[in-house]
């Protein structure tokens, strides 16, 4: 029985890894995707990014650099300040041979997602008057979250840290005066570490602990086109899903009594999961010499995040059952003067999580993103961009049933009952664009 319990403990740890990755949703664009890759785009709530031009838009559409006349470097930094409460509304736990009882602990987790700063940048250079190359460096999935050791959610998450670095070399070509095309390769590094408590067989015993660490390099691709005339630019782009393969270690400690033999350190743990494809259509309409309207529709293929698949020694799949989702954004740019442009926008994003599948590690919800910002040209080749966003999240239930040591004599069901309340985030972006 001991080996079986330990094997199930590994399965539980890997499940924690998957859900913890997804937990960043209450701070960012949608589930665990970070859209904060441009201070210019933040000012209009990321409307029209697939149709804008220059190095600042490479991430959304590699065709954005076709036909540029000079080199450009873009750097950005975004501070993300999430707020909210994850509240217990009656979670129960049933230890072996005992009736269901309250899970206990602090019933309110306030601001469990840490504040953070997300850097990004890009550079592009024209090879000819039609051909250009460039590269963007972004962090599309990154966050840190902490629950206290006495939190009601401790068996789902304690400390979680996820970092990704995406390097996208791109090439673009102006086929005609009105058509641009581009393509890029997404080379992505992922590093994750997380921990959570494990219940011992008696509530009077202190909790055990498990910690999982892993990293890996993976590949995806991006492609797009832009069609434009004097008044209208339409951009269409696609970013592929990426299958992430992480390898690392798992440590289980603090278990006592019949579970004590499961305390062990294991290396070579493997986990595979997908981040979603994105299909984008963006448009920019110049209504006058000063006013431009922007819009963008994005489809996320979150249904690829249906499960996390575990290699040896576990050889199992844990369902996640995300669904496809959409975001819609609209905004405007207004040139106050030749040097100053102001922006505003609003975005509506749909959560890919589903009722009955949402747990305390993934309190995601539909959200509104309100943005404002400005650009100021200090010189013909040096522009400062700034943006601010306020994101509000709908209240949502947390209702996924889980079990520690499932399928063993020590099986411990946990009937999760909670809510996300007062979810919101303040986001501040600052960037610079330099021509050369």
Say what the pLDDT of residue 7 is. 53
Say what the pLDDT of residue 124 is. 98
Both tokens assigned to 33 = 């995707």
Asked if 210 and 157 count as a contact pair (C-beta separation under 8 A), the reply is no
Q: Does the pLDDT of residue 76 top 70, yes or no?
A: yes
Most confident region among 62-76, 256-270, 354-368 by mean pLDDT = 62-76
Give every CB contact of residue 142 below 8 A, 6+ residues apart in sequence.
Answer: 24, 34, 116, 118, 162, 163, 164
Q: Does the pLDDT of residue 16 top 60, yes or no?
A: no
Most confident region among 112-116, 280-284, 316-320, 393-397 by mean pLDDT = 280-284
Band (405; pLDDT cuts 50, 70, 90): confident
Q: Does the pLDDT of residue 286 top 70, yes or no?
A: yes
Tally of CB atoms within 10 A around 138: 26
| Helix/strand/coil percentages in the chain, nearest 5 | 10, 55, 35
Asked if 109 and 83 count as a contact pair (C-beta separation under 8 A), the reply is no
The CATH number of 2-435 is which of 2.60.40.10, 3.40.50.2300, 1.10.630.10, 2.40.160.60? 2.40.160.60
Tally of CB atoms within 10 A around 204: 5
Q: How many helices (H) and strands (E) does the chain have?
A: 2, 25
CA neighbor of 278 nearest in space, from 14, 50, 86: 50
pLDDT tens track for 249-277:
889 999 999 999 889 888 888 888 899 99
**What distance in Å separates the CA atoms of residue 183 and residue 61, rounded to the nearest whole number?**
8
Most confident region among 206-215, 270-279, 366-375, 393-402 by mean pLDDT = 366-375
Both tokens assigned to 68 = 């540029």
Both tokens assigned to 132 = 């250009």
Asked if 72 and 419 count as a contact pair (C-beta separation under 8 A), the reply is no
The secondary structure element, H or E, covering residue 214 is: strand 208-228
Say what the pLDDT of residue 293 is. 98
Cross-strand partners of 240: none
**7 CB-side CA count, 13 A:** 13
pLDDT tens track for 152-186:
989 887 888 888 999 999 999 999 999 999 999 99
Asked if 353 and 362 count as a contact pair (C-beta separation under 8 A), the reply is yes
User: Domain spans of the chain?
Assistant: 2-435
Least confident of 3-7, 115-119, 183-187, 345-349: 3-7
CA neighbor of 226 nearest in space, from 90, 67, 367, 359: 67
Cross-strand partners of 228: 233
Please tell me the pTM assigned to this model.
0.89
């Amino acid at each position: 029985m001991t080996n079986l319990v330990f094997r199930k403990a590994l399965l539980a740890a890997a499940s924690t890894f998957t859900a913890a990755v997804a937990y960043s949703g209450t701070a960012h664009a949608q589930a665990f995707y970070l859209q904060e890759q441009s201070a210019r785009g933040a000012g209009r709530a990321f409307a029209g990014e697939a149709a804008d031009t220059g190095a600042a838009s490479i991430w959304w559409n590699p065709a954005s650099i076709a036909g540029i006349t000079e080199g450009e470097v873009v750097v950005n930094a975004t501070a993300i300040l999430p707020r909210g409460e994850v509240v217990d509304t009656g979670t129960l736990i049933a230890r072996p041979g005992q009736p269901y009882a309250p899970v206990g602990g602090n019933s309110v987790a306030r601001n469990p997602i840490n504040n953070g700063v997300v850097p990004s940048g890009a550079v592009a250079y024209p090879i000819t008057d039609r051909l250009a190359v460039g590269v963007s460096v972004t962090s599309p999935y990154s966050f840190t979250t902490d629950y206290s050791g006495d939190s009601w959610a401790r068996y789902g998450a304690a400390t979680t840290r996820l970092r990704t670095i995406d390097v996208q070399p791109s090439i673009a070509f102006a086929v005609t005066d009105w058509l641009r095309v581009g393509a890029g390769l997404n080379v992505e590094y992922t590093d994750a570490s997380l921990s959570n408590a494990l219940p011992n067989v008696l509530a009077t015993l202190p909790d055990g602990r498990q910690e999982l660490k892993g990293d890996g390099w993976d590949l995806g691709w991006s492609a797009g086109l832009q069609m434009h005339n004097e008044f209208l630019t339409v951009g269409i782009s696609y970013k592929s899903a990426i299958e992430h393969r992480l390898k690392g270690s798992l440590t289980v400690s603090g278990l006592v009594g019949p579970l004590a033999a499961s305390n062990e350190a294991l290396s070579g743990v493997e986990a595979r999961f997908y981040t979603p494809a994105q299909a984008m259509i963006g448009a920019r309409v110049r209504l006058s010499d000063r006013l431009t309207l922007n819009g963008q529709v994005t489809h996320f293929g979150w249904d690829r995040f249906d499960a996390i698949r575990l290699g040896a020694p576990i050889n199992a799949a844990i369902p996640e059952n995300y669904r496809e989702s959409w975001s819609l954004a609209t905004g405007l740019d207004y040139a106050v003067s030749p040097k100053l442009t102001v922006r505003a926008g609003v975005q509506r994003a749909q959560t890919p999580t589903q009722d009955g599948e949402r747990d305390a590690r993934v309190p995601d919800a539909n959200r509104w993103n309100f943005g404002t910002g400005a650009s100021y040209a200090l010189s013909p080749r040096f522009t400062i961009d700034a943006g601010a966003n306020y994101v509000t999240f709908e209240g949502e239930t947390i209702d996924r049933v889980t079990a520690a040591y499932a399928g063993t004599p020590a099986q411990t069901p946990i009937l999760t009952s909670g809510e996300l309340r007062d979810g919101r985030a303040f986001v501040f972006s600052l960037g610079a664009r330099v021509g050369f």
